[in-house]
Structure 1
Amino acid sequence: MSRLYVAIGDSFTEGVGDWDSRYPNGVRGWADRVAKQLSKKDSSWRYANLAIRSKRLRQIVDEQLQPALDLHPTVVSVYAGGNDILELRASITPLMETYEDMVSRIAAAGARPLLFTGFDVRLHPVLEPMRRRNWIYNDHVRRIAETYGALLVDYWCFDEYHDPRFWDIDRLHMSPAGHRNMAAHVLRELGIDHTLTSKPLRPRQRLTMTELLRRESVWWGEWVIPMFGRRLRNVTLGDDLEPRWPVPIRPADGLKRLAAEHAARRACRD
């Protein structure tokens, strides 16, 4: 009997930062890599990915959870709540109550939940309150994972992610190297041997103080301020996007070929 892996969540699971125009929504990501490796162990594995960038926890629950459960999955990975943590006025307590209810529904449906803590991103001192909220979030996720027998990928503990080469230019999403590395961590938690190899990282850049200040200014101007501007306007980068793989596929058939067929169908529909 075939098994099904379903991924739900936000940009982390959609694959933002691992840019590749050949794939739906222009990204690949760690979840695609995990699905491909699962299919190498057992070609009957199927895979769906309902994650969309910028989604908050309540949106993930309302828009993705039941469609995922309706597929009768074997494993459901979920990273959710990261975008809510950025909202400093929102209380963590009701957020984590919603999170726990989501995990309990996954477990009650007979699927194995696979959860993630958030990474301890080194932020500008102005953004330090968000870092403290992340610590609280992680404590709750660990407790919930233990309560419901979920698999836990403890992202918080992965020291290699302190290397900036594992991050995209926005410093919030993983780079292709970060996504490949995350896929290896997930497969290890699933107990799956894999053939993923780490590509050589680009040489570290040594910048002068002037270059560092210029880079910091560009980061604020191109990423941080626009992000908060979108929040004030109540718009997100995921508003016009659809799930990447809403209908289960067989990764053993070739993700690139399946992506090309997906693009062709969408072009005909549009």
Structure 2
Amino acid sequence: MAFSKYVALGDSFTEGVGDPDPDRPNGWRGWADRFAEALAADAATAGHDFGYANLAIRGRKLPAILAEQIDPAIALGPDLVSIHGGGNDVLRPKVDLDALAASYDDAVGRLAASGAHVVMFTIADTGNSGVMKVIRGRTAIFNEWAREIAEKHGATLVDMWRMRGWTVEEIMNEDRLHLNAVGHQSIAIAVADALGLQHDLQPLPPVDLPVLTPREQRAANVAWARGHLAPWVHRRVTGRSSGDGVAPKRSTLEPIR
């Protein structure tokens, strides 16, 4: 498959949060930028133009992604669309997964009917430890819906739930919620491989991690809770989002280098 117009939809995962680059729009690079760079290189080799748009905004739940991003994406006339959502939804204790899946199904159907090939994702396995274990069941149910929707509409599925062989510390940003550069590069490779594309993307070396004593680890956990967990909880309580006031990083199809 060869693509010339790629639009990325979603939340912080697709916006690129956790992979900082001050020279990029919104200050983030991320897997979608990295993947788009590989598509652009392939297009240049083939001698045709390539445009990339990224409408993803951090903090968005799936209903907002569908309401705000689907129509603008279709209007751009892409031949490739990636969409990721649901992660911010399964974090909530009350979520109607069946209703969520029905809306997702309709949206993916509209994208596919527009002529674009669609790439979807499952949500990564949170494991059965720590505070995240409480959402593991909701995540598994959502992922089964995602697999069914992808199969129904002929979408390519990147099954992050089944990705193993790395540790949280290796691929996660210091906030423990978003991927770091290593993780984002791994997803870019996974997307390209799932589509069967030839590419030059290579894994990044893991970050050197300090060996902490139990006391140092406890202190690090306290610092993380104060610096990242507490602000997240405060936003939930006050009904705010990290994406409030944030605009899409690339609202139109443009070259990327």
Assess same fold via TM > 0.5.
yes
Match of 1:36 in 2: 37
1:76–1:113 CA contact under 8 A, matched in 2: yes
Superposed, 1:146-225 pairs within 5 Å as 146-225=151-230
Superposition deviation, residue 121 in structure 1: 2.1
| Structure 1: gaps (5+ residues) | 255-270
How far is 1:161 from its partner?
3.8
Structure 1 residue 71 displacement after superposition: 0.8
> Please, which runs of 5 or more residues in structure 2 have no aligned partner?
none
Structure 2 counterpart of 1:27: 28
Could you say if the C-alpha distance between residues 166 and 2 of structure 1 is closer, same or farther in structure 2, counting changes exceeding 3 Å?
closer
Measured against aligned partners, the alpha-carbon deviations of 1:204-256 in whole angstroms (never above 9, x if no partner) come to: 332111111112222222222221210111111111111111010122xx2xx
Give the length in aligned residue pairs. 252
Matches within 5 A, 1:1-270: 3-43=4-44, 44-122=49-127, 125-251=130-256, 254=257
Alignment TM-score, normalising by the size of structure 2: 0.93
Secondary structure at 1:169 match in 2: coil
Deviations 1:144-200 (A, max 9, x none): 111111000011111134341111011111000111111111111122111122232
Cα distance in structure 2, aligned partners of 1:26 and 1:126: 29
Amino acid at match of 2:226: G
Query: Does the residue aligned with 1:159 lie in a helix, a strand or coil?
Result: coil
Distance 1:168 1:241 in 2: 20
Shift of 1:128: 2.3
TM-score norm. by structure 1 comes to 0.89
Whether the 8 Å CA contact 1:10–1:79 is kept in 2: the answer is yes
The RMSD of aligned alpha carbons is 1.6
Higher mean C-alpha deviation, range 205-214 or range 7-16: 205-214
Q: Cα offset for 1:11?
A: 0.2
